[in-house]
Amino acid sequence: MGGIPLIPVYNCPCMTELTSIEKLEEIKRDADELRGRIEIITRDLDFPALDRDVRDLTKQLEDPNIWNNPQEAGKLNKRLTILKDKRQTWENLLNAAVDAGEFAEIALMEDDPGSYLSDAGKSFRDVLEGVEKEETKLLLSEPEDPGDSICSIQSGAGGTDAQDWAEMLLRMYLRYCERAGFKARIVEIHPGEQAGIKSVTFEVEGNYAYGYLKCEEGIHRLVRISPYGQQRRETSFASLDVTPVVEETLVELDENDLRIDTYRSSGAGGQHVNITDSAVRITHLPTGIVVSCQNERSQHKNKATALKILKSRLAELEKEKQAKASEQERSAKHKIQFGGGHIRNYFLHPRKQVKDARTGHESGNVDRVLDGDIQDFIDVYLRSQVSGAAKAIREEQE
Report the DSSP beta bridge partners of residue 284.
258, 289
Closest CA to 334 of 218, 214, 213, 170: 218
Q: Is 373 helix (H, G, I), strand (E, B) or coil?
A: coil
Closest CA to 125 of 3, 42, 34: 34
pLDDT of residue 232: 84
Q: Where are the domains of the chain?
A: 13-138, 149-389
Closest CA to 86 of 183, 257, 208: 208
* CATH code at 13-138: 1.20.58
What is 149-389's CATH number, 3.30.70.100, 3.30.70.1660, 3.40.50.360, 1.10.3470.10?
A: 3.30.70.1660
Q: Please list the pLDDT of the chain residue by residue as tens digits (398 residues).
A: 344 445 665 665 554 578 999 999 999 999 999 999 999 999 999 999 999 999 999 999 999 999 888 878 888 898 899 899 999 999 999 999 999 999 999 999 998 999 999 999 999 999 999 998 899 888 898 888 989 999 999 999 778 999 999 999 999 999 999 999 999 999 989 999 889 999 999 999 998 999 999 999 999 999 999 998 777 889 999 999 999 998 766 677 888 888 988 887 655 444 444 454 678 888 998 888 898 888 777 788 888 888 888 888 888 887 777 655 444 544 444 445 444 578 999 999 888 999 999 999 999 999 999 999 999 999 999 988 876 544 444 444 44
- The C-alpha atoms of residue 319 and residue 136 are separated, in whole angstroms, by 25
- The C-alpha atoms of residue 174 and residue 196 are separated, in whole angstroms, by 15
Question: What burial letters (b/e) apply to 65-95, b meaning 16+ CB within 10 Å?
Answer: eeeeeeeebeebbeebeebbebbeebeebbe
pLDDT of residue 279: 87
Amino acid at 271: Q
Q: Contact at 8 Å (CB) between 220 and 236? A: no
Q: Contact at 8 Å (CB) between 42 and 95? A: no
Strand order in the sheet with 279-284: 258-263, 279-284, 289-293
